[in-house]
Structure 1
Amino acid sequence: MTGRVVVVTGTSTGVGKTVATAALAQRSADRGSVVVVKPVQTGVVDGDSDAEEVHRLTGCAVQEYTTLDDPLAPDTAARRQGVAIPPVAEYADRIRALAELHDTVVVEGAGGLLVRLDADGGTLLDLAAELAKSVPLDLVVVVGPQLGTLNHAELTVAAVRARGLEPAGLVIGAWPAEPGLAERCNAEDLPHHTGLPVLATIPVGVGALDRDQFLAQAPAWFS
């Protein structure tokens, strides 16, 4: 039986997507075998990467397919580095193969939904749409809590729906210890504005926890 693929995107960079990916992977690991995939990683310094951070926090198996030096959009980073990068279809084939071997494959995107992952204009949305043709797929949108998030969330969700996909829900990343009026109102308004449930609210700073602390605290972040 083919496993489920969970594609994690964000409304922008810096909204807590990697920590959300780790939390979703941990939750999936409670239900069966899981592997986390980062198709494209940019800004790699001394081997430090999002995939390694997910492994550090959860202990889950991780895979990285393309790594690039500059902290830029993948197609831009590859062009500057003078290297060829695989098309999105190749990433889809590799992820489908993993789904035959695992109960859940969690796929973390790079930046936002429409950031180009290859030199042909392929995006994470293209990857998700391709995977949805042959495997059970959930797409989770990670949003920030700050002012402006309603607009960013609605734009991202609208782009997903325009491709005939329905997101599974939202994760609010980097939730402050002392939320202000904007954060509190946004948390209430996000489900209304997007028509999606908030699956989890992840506190700011939890990426600094060690593995035991992260695994112990993560279940409480989910609704």
Structure 2
Amino acid sequence: MNHLVIAILTYIAIVCINLTKFTFEFHAANTLSYIIMILSYLYSSRADYRRRIVNFYSSMKSGAFYALIPHAFNLAILGTSGYAQITGYSYPILQILSCTVSSFSEELYFRFFLYENFQKAVGRITFSIIVVSAMFSIYHLPPKLDVTLTIFISSYFIMGVILQELYIRDGLLTPILFHTAFNLIGGVYAISLNTLASIIYNSTLTLALVVFMIANNISADA
């Protein structure tokens, strides 16, 4: 069977499973989705895909740096205006484990499996980045859509672009570390879901993307 067809079918499966977590068992749905993601990666890793291995320290530094940018601005802007507050972790070990597993699984699936299959089938990098980032965003759609949440969910598209660019530039390890660090830091504070806060949140992610693109161009020209 065509690899792209398999990619689309697995994506439909995890989106459908993801929707059930809002009405049935949350943890069971997440676990099943992550299993499918990891199995998809293991299946595709047999194919002739070119994967770059980069220095762990370099990946950790890049991942943590770009993950910190949006959160730093969120806390500086939203925190001082009363839209964000530090909450900490209620169950630290469980929440840290959950963030790590979800980030690891999603990066294997979206950044490697889906992107490589789309890019190989279509042959266009920019188009593949946009499609996979949109699929990443749709996967995170909440059960109830309104103006605020629609604006908020668009942040996943921006984040998807950043993660995909990191994958293309540095390989798979950097986006995994970025995603994990982003989720871990984001878990220690809560944001009020209103339109203004959502716009500011999206703006900080966009800023992180701009900083990344500028830094990437500078390093490429150096």
Query: Which of 1 and 2 has higher RCO (CA within 8 Å, sep 6+)?
Result: 2
TM score, norm. by length of structure 1: 0.26
TM score, norm. by length of structure 2: 0.26
